[in-house]
Chain A
Amino acid sequence: MEQKADHQLKQIAAEIRYAVIETSHRSKSAHLASCLSCVDIITELFWRENDLNFFDESIGADRDHFILSKGHAAMLLYVALAKKGIFDAKELLTYNQNGGRLAEHPPANLIPYIDVATGSLGHGLSVGVGISMAKKLRGCNSKVIVVVSDGEINEGSVWEATMFASRNLLNNLCLIVDSNKWQATDRVEDVLHIDNLADKWAAFGWKTIEVNGHNFAELRESVEFFKTSKDRPVVIIANTIKGRGISFMEDDNNWHYRSPNEQELSKCKKELFG
């Protein structure tokens, strides 16, 4: 059921989308469409009034951890962190410029709450598993949420981590697959034989839930579902659309590498805000 809050989340997501598109336009940077497919996921995680707390260093290990394993969506992460007030939004102007700290993939040990540097695919889940293990060893109840792309799960290390997480009963770990059906140069289904993702993780002993990754009500329910898991890690298969939110970008893989020109930018603005 849609809550009143869902409308507010939609507004936040539109603002994030536009800031990401603007950043891509300004810096002529790639991976715009990969960002747009998981804007709603990030908005749900960071802005929903829930008991997830990713942004309070003072509580130490009790803080929840978020890992963007699909590091090529760094633009989105930076926009979201700036909007959260983690750093000044003016710094977004330095994205991909000489000498800044906002590189095209999230860096290590430079930006608060970017705990894990990513960019090489297939790393984030294992590190997230390590953080989950540490929380268990320390007796903390906080959670770890890792977002991967469906192209990323080509990497064998993802499946090593998958087997490890269920064996070690990491119910504090949630993997979200941003399943936008595209990878860099082709359809995911045409590159390797990987389909029925929920079945795959279920076979490895995970609890699974499949949702529309652009529907806030469904996203909220899936996060709630994760929190109730007693002894297993949870995977949320979020079915998404690459380039989501902009009619001429949706499901068009050219926008994996393209950045919008001035004219396209104003079209985006019109589509997002009317």
Chain B
Amino acid sequence: MRNAFADEIKNLAGINENIVMLSGDIGNRLFDNFKEKYADRFINCGVAEQNMTGVAAGLALMGYRPFTYTIGPFVTTRCLEQIKIDVAYHNLPVTVVAVGAGLSYAGLGPTHHSCEDVAFLSSIPNMQVICPADRWETRAALRAIVESNCPTYLRLGKKGEPDIHGAIPKNFSIGKGITIKEGSSVCVISSGTIVSEALDGSKLLEKRGISSLLINMHSIKPFDYQLLQQVSTEFDFIVTIEEHTLFGGLGSLVAHWMATNPQVKSKLLTIGTPDEFYKKSGSQKYAREQLRIDAKNIALRIENFISGKTFP
């Protein structure tokens, strides 16, 4: 995903001469091509994310389209006030790009986990929050962001995420969910790189005779309430899956909408990361298994949910 980002932003910088890349001393070699072509528009801001974000706002005030880039927690919560005040309050087209969504950097420990970012960023007025599922969607999202001219948070994984799309999705539009897989008995809504686990889980359910529709809700803000409205009339069971805390993310948005729309009769299961710091070493795959947000556990939890069993 990060390679796709680096390549696409280089391509876009060729078309739009206002694009400026600000890095928080990260991405060793990743931006070599960008730097080679547009040296004056690549700025290593050092390990100083508050300043990087303020500088981005200043550049945007003067008509530039800055992208701030570093590891999730450092480009979001570390400099949250700069995002809120300098960027969002002034409604400037700065894009905050996080690498390492959720538990992408599981092995680096909780300092590098990013399971609260969506909640923080989407609570800020004027912000768009976009969580692509794979490298193809990353490119599509970037193109849409450059068109949109809004303060935006772009939440990327790391590298080597499984492909959801076979090419850049043509139907990508900010604020519009994408149906990845058709199904009839349960509607699964997921967002970000964990869509791949949701998809595998959905396939496991098929084998057990449970047909599931899978929606990739890449835009958390603006949110596709129209699509949610539609599926809530068609499905008795709705499941949300995110690699993020259940406070203030995808599940929370869907639950809030359902609770405040009394005509909705569907039942809801929200799957996300627990309200605790995950302290085990090892890979993202292992962490997802431990936290029961991997494909196998997702399938099991959905099966129990629709069969009315209590949570195992």
Residues of A within 8 A of B (CB): 61, 108-109, 115-117, 120, 122-123, 125-135, 137-138, 156-157, 160-161, 163-164, 167-168
Q: Chain A residues near B41 (CB, 8 Å)?
A: 137
What are 8 A-B contacts defined by CB distance under 8 Å? A108-B89, A120-B85, A123-B82, A123-B85, A126-B53, A132-B58, A157-B54, A163-B48
Q: Is the CB of B61 within 8 A of A115?
A: yes
Within 8 A of A (CB), among B147-184: none
Q: Which of B43, B82, B86 has the most CB of A within 10 A?
A: B86
The yes or no answer to B245 lying at the interface (CB within 8 A) is: no
CB-nearest residue of chain B relative to A134?
B62
Contact of A123 (CB < 8 Å), options: B46, B54, B59: B54
Q: Which A residues are CB-close (under 8 A) to B275?
A: none
CA distance A262 to B3 in the complex (A): 67
Kindly report which residue of chain A lies nearest to residue B94, judged by CB atoms. A130
B61 touches which one: A134, A163, A168 (CB < 8 A)?
A134
| Nearest A-chain residue to B20, judged by Cβ | A137
Q: Are the C-beta atoms of A135 and B53 separated by less than 8 Å?
A: no
What's the least CB distance linking A132 to chain B, in Å?
7
The prevalent SS among residues of A at the interface is helix
Interface size on B, residues (CB 8 A): 29
Which B47-72 residues sit within 8 Å CB-CB of chain A? 48, 50-51, 53-64, 66
Question: What are the residues of chain B within 8 A of A133 when measuring CB–CB?
Answer: 43, 55, 58-59
Smallest CB gap from B66: residue in A: A130
Name the distance in Å between B253's Cβ and chain A's nearest Cβ. 27
Q: How far is the CB of A160 from chain B (nearest CB, A)?
A: 4
CB atoms of B51 and A126 under 8 A apart: yes
B50 touches A157 (CB 8 A): yes
Chain A residues within 8 Å of B40, by CB: 137
Q: In the docked arrangement, what's the CA distance between A109 and B91, Å? A: 9
- Contact yes or no, A164 B46, CB < 8 A: yes
Find A164's partner among B20, B51, B90 (CB 8 Å cutoff): B51
Say yes or no: B85 contacts A164, CB within 8 Å.
Answer: no
Assess the B89–A157 pair: CB atoms within 8 A.
no
B89 A129 Cβ-Cβ under 8 A: no
Q: Are A117 and B57 in contact (CB under 8 A)?
A: no
Q: Quick one: which of A109, A120, A134, A157 contacts B58, CB cutoff 8 A? A: A134
A131 and B20 CA atoms in complex are apart in Å by 13
Which residues in B have their C-beta under 8 angstroms from that of A109?
A: 90-91
A48 to nearest B CB, angstroms?
A: 25
Say how far A107's CB is from chain B's closest CB, in angstroms: 9
CA gap between A127 and B53 in the complex, in Å: 8
| A127 proximity list for chain B (CB < 8 A) | 54-55, 57-58, 61, 86
Most buried by A among B57, B58, B85, B89: B58
B55 & A130 in contact (Cβ 8 Å cutoff): yes
CB-defined interface of B92-134 with A at 8 Å, one 1/0 digit per residue? 0000000000000000000000000000000000000000000
Q: B81 contacts the other chain (Cβ, under 8 Å)?
A: yes
Contacts of A130 in B (CB 8 A): 54-62, 66
A161 touches B51 (CB 8 A): yes
B269 to chain A: closest CB distance in Å? Answer: 40
The answer for the CA separation of A115 and B64 in the assembled complex, in Å, is 15
Give the residue name and chain of the B residue nearest to A164 (CB).
B51
Q: Which residues of B contact A123 (CB under 8 A)?
A: 54, 81-82, 85-86
A120: which B residues are within 8 A, CB to CB? 81, 85
Bound-state Cα–Cα, A131 to B66, Å: 12
| Contact in complex: A164, B45 (CB < 8 Å) | yes
Q: Is B55 a contact partner of A126 (Cβ separation < 8 A)?
A: yes
Complex Cα spacing A137 to B63, Å: 11
